[in-house]
């Protein structure tokens, strides 16, 4: 189990994230805390980036650049909106 301060920081980060709306962010619907904690997240059909890389190996440059641009755009949004 995480120490209380780590759980609090994690919860606060999730609650802050839940306030953002961006096409590349999974929505955080709820955080339920108790002896065990649960996250209720938006369901997005598809595979995770790590799985995509594992399955396809090396990516062609154009595809990798598109993904990196999406990631950069999302990070820019988060930075600009706190």
Task: List the one residue out of 38, 39, 56 whose CA is nearest residue 47.
Answer: 56
Q: Output the pTM of the full model.
A: 0.72
Whether the pLDDT of residue 15 is over 80: the answer is yes
Whether the pLDDT of residue 22 is over 90: the answer is yes
What are the tens digits of pLDDT across the range 28-70? 998 888 778 888 999 999 998 899 889 988 889 999 999 999 9
Task: List the one residue out of 22, 21, 19 whose CA is nearest residue 31.
Answer: 19
> At which residue do the structure tokens 């990070």 appear?
75
Task: List the one residue out of 66, 57, 60, 63 whose CA is nearest residue 24.
Answer: 66
User: Please, are residues 27 and 18 in contact by the beta-carbon 8 Å criterion?
Assistant: yes
Average pLDDT over residues 74-80: 94
Question: What is the model's pLDDT at position 80?
Answer: 93
């Amino acid at each position: 189990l995480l120490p209380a301060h780590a759980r609090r920081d994690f919860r606060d980060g999730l609650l802050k994230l839940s306030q953002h709306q961006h096409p590349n962010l999974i929505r955080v619907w709820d955080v339920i805390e108790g002896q065990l904690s649960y996250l209720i997240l938006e369901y997005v059909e598809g595979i995770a980036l790590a799985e995509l890389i594992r399955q396809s190996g090396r990516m062609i440059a154009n595809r990798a650049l598109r993904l990196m641009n999406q990631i950069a755009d999302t990070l820019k949004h988060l930075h600009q909106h706190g």
